[in-house]
Amino acid sequence: MFRYGTITGGVAPTPLKAEWLNMVQEELANFILAYLPELDAEDNTQLLKAIRAFGASYPLKATTLAGYGILDAYTKPETDWLLSKKANNAITLAGYGIGDAYTKLAIDALLAEKQTAIDSLAATKQDKNTAVMAATGWRLDKATGFLEQWGSGSCGPDSVTAAINFPTPFAEVYNCFGNKVTPNSVDSDANSAGALAVSATQYKLFNDTANFSATIHWRAIGKAPGY
């Protein structure tokens, strides 16, 4: 549990470290991306939508006969058994004390409606590509989970930048590299500059040029969360 406290009082407060916050964020992002096509920084209901999509991705355990004035329900195995016994006739619910009937046509319509919802969800997951096409952006192949990202930034002479966030988090980075936009004509360090991933969510730019700052284009490829 988190705690309040002060160092002078002898009980230090719970430290909030970036690594822990990143872990929680990645856990939430992984769950959301397992059921939604992409993350949206402007939508604060994504977790709720993902939970609803999770529920919709499993068949109903029972068919509630609310339309017939009762709260009892047939499970799918019971429905299949009844249909096998009376395939083309009405199923009389005498055991529930009513004379109404749940016909094969009505049951087929319910199962077809559920299958349509499942097919729609599957079609969304199989949508080939989603991309943010800009100078800094990313592209996701939803069929495979392959994620590509790119951008540019500046780095001072003979230095390495602080960690920079990728436009969208990876689950795993396969490769991250970069090059200068314009090489310097005079450079004792042979114009060496590039990029490297320091985690699944951040990268750094480096510039070995002794006397010149550099603008570096970078590119990273890897696996998206949820795949």
Question: What would the mean pLDDT of 8-30 be, rounded to a whole number?
Answer: 86
Tokens 């009389």 belong to: 92
- Residues in CB range of 175: below 8 A, 6 or more apart: 220, 221, 222
Parse the chain into domains and list their residue ranges.
18-57, 62-124, 130-223
Phi, psi of 72 (to 5 degrees): -70, 165
Phi, psi of 82 (to 5 degrees): -65, -40
Nearest to 169 by CA among 130, 129, 140, 196: 140
Paired tokens of 126: 């199989």
Alpha-carbon torsion 203, 207, 213, 214, what sign? negative
- Residues in CB range of 106: below 8 A, 6 or more apart: none
For domain 130-223, give the fold.
Answer: Immunoglobulin-like (2.60.40)
Q: What is the pLDDT of residues 25-55, one digit of tens each?
A: 999 999 999 889 899 989 999 999 989 888 7
Per-residue model confidence (pLDDT) at position 88: 47
pLDDT, greater one: 70 or 155: 155
Dist CA 195 CA 10 (whole Å): 44
Q: Is the pLDDT score of 122 beyond 50?
A: yes
- What are the beta bridge partners of residue 215? 154
Per-residue model confidence (pLDDT) at position 85: 62
pLDDT, greater one: 120 or 16: 16
Dist CA 99 CA 97 (whole Å): 7
Q: Is 48 exposed, middle or buried (0-12, 13-18, 19+ CB in 10 A)?
A: exposed
Q: Is 0.85 topped by the overall pTM?
A: no
- Residues in CB range of 96: below 8 A, 6 or more apart: 70, 72
Q: What is the pLDDT of residues 172-219, one digit of tens each?
A: 999 999 988 877 766 665 668 899 999 999 999 999 888 888 899 999
pLDDT, greater one: 12 or 86: 12
Q: What is the pLDDT of residues 133-174, one digit of tens each?
A: 678 889 998 889 999 999 999 999 889 999 999 999 999 999
